[in-house]
Structure 1
């Protein structure tokens, strides 16, 4: 299995834009995400997973069902890591870290999946995209684009979003505290952010 890195950050930190730019560059970095626009081949079968997760959580489905859907996401990311072509370095969107922390914050912290996720191979390093909750709120369209897994409670207002994102950031940094973590500030220029990510991984 090739070494791999994890691209991590709170919601609306710019991970999807960075991974899309890396995919367009067609370099040695293999962008790995279950964002629908980044799926290819047979993996397109899970394109509806993000929407299904939000609906299942908000719709009162059982915790076991929601956790099983989350495990599909983790299993997909892990599969892409272990099947990466020679000479390619996977850069994985959040891996299981973000899912694990969100489960804890939202009360989905039991069941058989958590020990399994923690048993998965550890990355060579983590690139952490830092963004303020205020900037993230603006990027969400002042809450218009939020799903139920991105804020506390049933109402998506700025306060519930900001509190959740602050706790999410703290939880993420706690989860990866034993790993090499490189912080990259996010800026409006996606190209500059991607260049910074690539330099970080090379160094």
Structure 2
């Protein structure tokens, strides 16, 4: 059986629709898990800025996201990069609040991962961060805990990385693993007051998706 560690402070007052966040470092398998969940026509909404989850009218979000990861790490100031990434954050919030808000939702990373990447890009603090933190709080975070070394293998030794997933001009294992450790530290700092279920890396995609499904079924019952 897949080992699931549960860290459960008092459930937060979400101030919005019922939802959980699926979070983890780069290469953790969130996109794969969401794809498997969608195959089963789940009773929950699945919200992500990945192209496969965007509506046709939201295609601009995907185009902007690709431009950001292609050029943003070097071409722009950290503050401008944060402004560009905010479009994805606000898009997720809008879909959470406006698209059938009575129906529970699973949100891919929410603002936690993008805020961490902005900080790693050099933004120590920004008024937008306080705004993001004022968004509705999830009732649980499901964290896919994957070691940097394992994630390096999953990204085909750096061939699948973008510029916001590693330190240095070009991806190498040391720059990737250090970046992922720092990224995880910041994300954990952001979710420290939330109930968290941690799912380890030792099992395959199908088992991971099944454990996520069990947590969501329990959370939204």
- Give the TM-score band, short-chain normalised: over 0.9
Question: Gaps spanning 5+ residues in structure 1: where?
Answer: none
Give 1:172 shift.
Answer: 1.1
Structure 1 Cα separation of the partners of residues 73 and 118 of structure 2: 14
Indicate which of 13, 38, 51 corresponds to 2:53.
Answer: 38
- Give the aligned partner of residue 6 of structure 2: none
Higher relative contact order (CA 8 A, sep 6+): 2
How far is 1:121 from its partner?
1.0
Mapped pair 1:92 → 2:119: no
Tell me the CA shift for residue 82 of structure 1.
0.4
Confirm or deny: 8 A CA contact 1:187 1:193 kept in the other structure.
Answer: no
What TM-score do you get using the length of structure 2 for normalisation? 0.85
* CA distance in 2: counterparts of 1:189 and 1:25, whole angstroms: 18
Within 1, Cα distance between the matches of 2:169 and 2:73?
Answer: 8
Q: How big is each residue's C-alpha offset from its partner over 1:25-65, in whole Å with a ceiling of 9 and x where there is no partner?
A: 11112111101111123122322132111133234223333
Give the direction of change, closer, same or farther, for the CA distance of 1:21–1:52 in structure 2 (3 Å limit): same
1:9 aligns with 2:29: no
Among candidates 211, 217, 221, match of residue 196 of structure 1? 211
Unpaired runs of at least 5, structure 2: 1-15
TM-score of the aligned structures, taking structure 1 as reference length: 0.93
CA contact (8 A) 2:20 2:106 kept: yes
Mapped partners of 1:59, 1:86: distance in 2: 38
Give the Cα separation in 2 of the matches to 1:67 and 1:168: 16
**How far did residue 188 of structure 1 move?**
5.5
What residue in structure 2 maps to residue 152 of structure 1? 167
* Residue 85 of structure 2 is aligned to residue 67 of structure 1: no
- CA distance in 2: counterparts of 1:139 and 1:93, whole angstroms: 19
Distance in structure 2 (CA, Å) of the matches to 1:147 and 1:109: 22
* Residue-by-residue CA offset, 1:72-122 (whole Å, 9 max, x unaligned): 010011011102326532111111111111111220334432121111111
Q: Give the superposition deviation at 1:23.
A: 1.7
- The alpha carbon displacement at 1:202 in A equals 2.7
Preserved CA contact (<8 Å) 1:101 1:171: yes
Deviation at 1:8, TM superposition (A): 0.4
Cα shift at 1:165: 0.6
Aligned to 2:8: none
Rounded Cα–Cα distance in structure 1 between residues aligned with 2:96 and 2:190: 20
Match of 1:181 among 177, 196, 203: 196
- TM-superposed deviation, 1:187: 4.8
Could you tell me which residue of structure 2 aligns to residue 47 of structure 1?
62
